[in-house]
């Protein structure tokens, strides 16, 4: 069963004044006195001078028994803020914020499952939940973050990105998996490639579903996440390479023997294996990806490119971007000679090459100029 989500539709209730004697009894955790006052007609939402209600006090002091009794009152309001400034009344710390700040786990759980009419708004980020989740992140309080997410809290893009990145770096597998499984929006273009590297190195790549974010990173111009492919190639983890590349081109296959021949710069081995009958198209595509990532001799690159006349949609675009990222200049003349790339693709490739100070920037820049002249022809100088 998926976590329930709900918005708080309670109207803002007027707050009476909490008598000092009841305030101090609540501070001491005297549930009997507090409940007796309430049963005699006391206002469940009454507040002291700093706008703390009984619910605030119970959450701050971790009086879970008192809190559960207070939440049984149908009219209790659990989203009131408290502050030292009356100008910001209702915009300060809520009971949830207090409970999370003090790491009172049971109080947080009680608030999230309150039987009262008033509910914690999990549908949208409010001052209460927003402050709570960000404070928890700043303190690396993963337990609290997990509780809120499991309760069904929806995250805005900035928060989900920050939590994903921080949790991945901290190897908080469960939280990373929640964010990916619930498909929270992410600013994938800003995710540090070290996040993916760390997940992969610690064998959490498939466990947390990091590959689900991988293609989105690539499409959003975060090409640096593909550094993890270089690590996989260096460790001969061809299964991981194939599974990841399939996210870009579904029918890609990695032939281990061809891959090893490429890495060993063994032209004869590549020729022998690639000339076999009934060699699947996907194997050639995989081999070309490998040279885009790990490089090859000019002869091997020319051999592999000579084996196919057509390629899947976007295949060559991905190869160009990888070759630019990994500075594989032996591939660029082969890729750029046909002038088949769009202006956008060439611009992205040049951006990548410039960012890494790649040796192939001049080649890409010349191809981009040719494309520009195709799109915007020079004026005709002929005169009548």
pLDDT score for 127: 64
Which tens digit of pLDDT belongs to each residue from 271-325? 999 888 678 889 999 999 999 999 999 999 999 999 888 899 999 999 999 999 9
Flag the least confident range among 60-64, 207-211, 291-295, 326-330. 207-211
Query: Taken in order 13, 18, 23, 25, is the CA torsion positive or negative?
Result: negative
Looking only at Cα atoms, what is the longest distance across the chain? 104
Q: What is the mean pLDDT of residues 256-266?
A: 95
Dihedral pair phi/psi, residue 71, rounded to 5°: -70, -10
**Beta pairing partners, 47:** 17, 53
Q: Spell out the domains of the chain, with CATH numbers in brackets.
A: 1-120 (1.25.40.20), 221-377 (1.25.40)
**Beta pairing partners, 17:** 47
pLDDT score for 87: 42
Q: What is the mean pLDDT of residues 30-38?
A: 96
Q: What is the mean pLDDT of residues 183-202?
A: 90
pLDDT score for 293: 95
Higher pLDDT, 333 or 92: 333
**Beta pairing partners, 53:** 47
pLDDT score for 343: 92
Q: What is the mean pLDDT of residues 45-57?
A: 92
- Cα–Cα distance, 73 to 69 (Å, whole number): 8
Q: Flag whether pLDDT at 249 surpasses 90.
A: yes
- Cα–Cα distance, 40 to 302 (Å, whole number): 90
pLDDT score for 130: 78
Which tens digit of pLDDT belongs to each residue from 99-154? 988 999 999 999 999 998 888 878 766 666 777 888 899 999 999 999 999 999 98
pLDDT score for 122: 81
- Cα–Cα distance, 307 to 88 (Å, whole number): 71
Q: Flag whether pLDDT at 1 surpasses 50.
A: no
**Beta pairing partners, 82:** 93
Higher pLDDT, 330 or 293: 293
pLDDT score for 383: 45
Q: Flag whether pLDDT at 84 surpasses 50.
A: no
Q: What is the mean pLDDT of residues 336-355?
A: 90
Q: What per-residue string of b and e applies to 250-276 under the rule 16 or more CB within 10 Å gives b? A: eebbbbeebbbbbbeebbebbeebbee
- Cα–Cα distance, 201 to 231 (Å, whole number): 9
Give 244-251 contacts, CB < 8 A, sequence gap 24+: 244/211, 244/214, 245/286, 245/289, 247/211, 247/214, 247/215, 248/215, 248/218, 248/314, 248/318, 249/282, 249/285, 249/312, 249/314, 249/315, 249/318, 251/281, 251/282, 251/285, 251/312
Which tens digit of pLDDT belongs to each residue from 164-180? 999 999 999 999 999 99
- Cα–Cα distance, 262 to 26 (Å, whole number): 74
pLDDT score for 85: 38
Both structure tokens of 384: 């009548």
Identify the band that residue 227 occupies on the pLDDT scale cut at 50, 70 and 90.
confident
pLDDT score for 8: 56
Identify the band that residue 15 occupies on the pLDDT scale cut at 50, 70 and 90.
low
pLDDT score for 10: 59
Q: What is the mean pLDDT of residues 229-233?
A: 91
Q: What is the mean pLDDT of residues 3-8?
A: 50
pLDDT score for 337: 86
């Amino acid at each position: 069963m998926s976590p329930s989500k709900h918005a708080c539709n309670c109207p803002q209730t007027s707050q009476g004044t909490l008598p000092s004697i009841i305030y101090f009894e609540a501070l001491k955790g005297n549930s009997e006195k507090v409940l007796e006052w309430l049963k005699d007609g006391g206002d469940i939402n009454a507040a002291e001078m700093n706008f703390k209600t009984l619910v605030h006090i119970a959450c701050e002091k971790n009086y879970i028994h008192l809190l559960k009794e207070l939440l049984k009152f149908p009219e209790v309001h659990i989203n009131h803020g408290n502050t030292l400034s009356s100008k910001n009344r209702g915009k300060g710390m809520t009971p949830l914020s207090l409970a999370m700040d003090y790491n009172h786990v049971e109080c947080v759980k009680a608030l999230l499952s309150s039987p009262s009419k008033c509910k914690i708004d999990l549908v949208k980020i409010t001052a209460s939940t927003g402050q709570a989740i960000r404070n928890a992140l700043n303190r690396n309080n993963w337990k609290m973050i997990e509780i809120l997410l499991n309760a069904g809290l929806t995250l805005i893009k900035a928060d989900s990105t920050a939590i994903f990145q921080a949790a991945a770096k901290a190897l908080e597998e469960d939280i990373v998996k929640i964010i990916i499984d619930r498909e929270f929006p992410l600013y994938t273009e800003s995710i540090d490639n070290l996040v993916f590297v760390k997940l992969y190195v610690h064998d959490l790549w498939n466990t947390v579903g990091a590959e689900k974010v991988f293609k989105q990173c690539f499409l959003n111009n975060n090409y640096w996440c593909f550094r993890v492919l270089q690590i996989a190639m260096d460790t001969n983890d061809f299964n991981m390479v194939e599974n990841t590349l399939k996210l870009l081109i579904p029918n890609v296959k990695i032939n281990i023997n061809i891959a090893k021949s490429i890495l060993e710069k063994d032209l004869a081995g590549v020729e022998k294996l690639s000339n076999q009958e009934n060699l699947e198209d996907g194997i050639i595509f995989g081999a070309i990806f490998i040279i885009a990532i790990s490089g090859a001799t000019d002869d091997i690159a020319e051999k592999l490119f000579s084996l196919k006349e057509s390629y899947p949609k976007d295949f060559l675009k991905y190869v160009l971007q990888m070759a630019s990222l990994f500075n594989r200049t032996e591939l660029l003349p082969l890729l750029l000679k046909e002038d088949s790339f769009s202006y956008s693709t060439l611009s992205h490739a040049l951006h990548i090459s410039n960012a890494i100070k790649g040796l192939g920037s001049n080649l890409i820049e010349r191809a981009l100029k040719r494309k520009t002249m195709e799109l915007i022809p020079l004026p005709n100088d002929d005169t009548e």
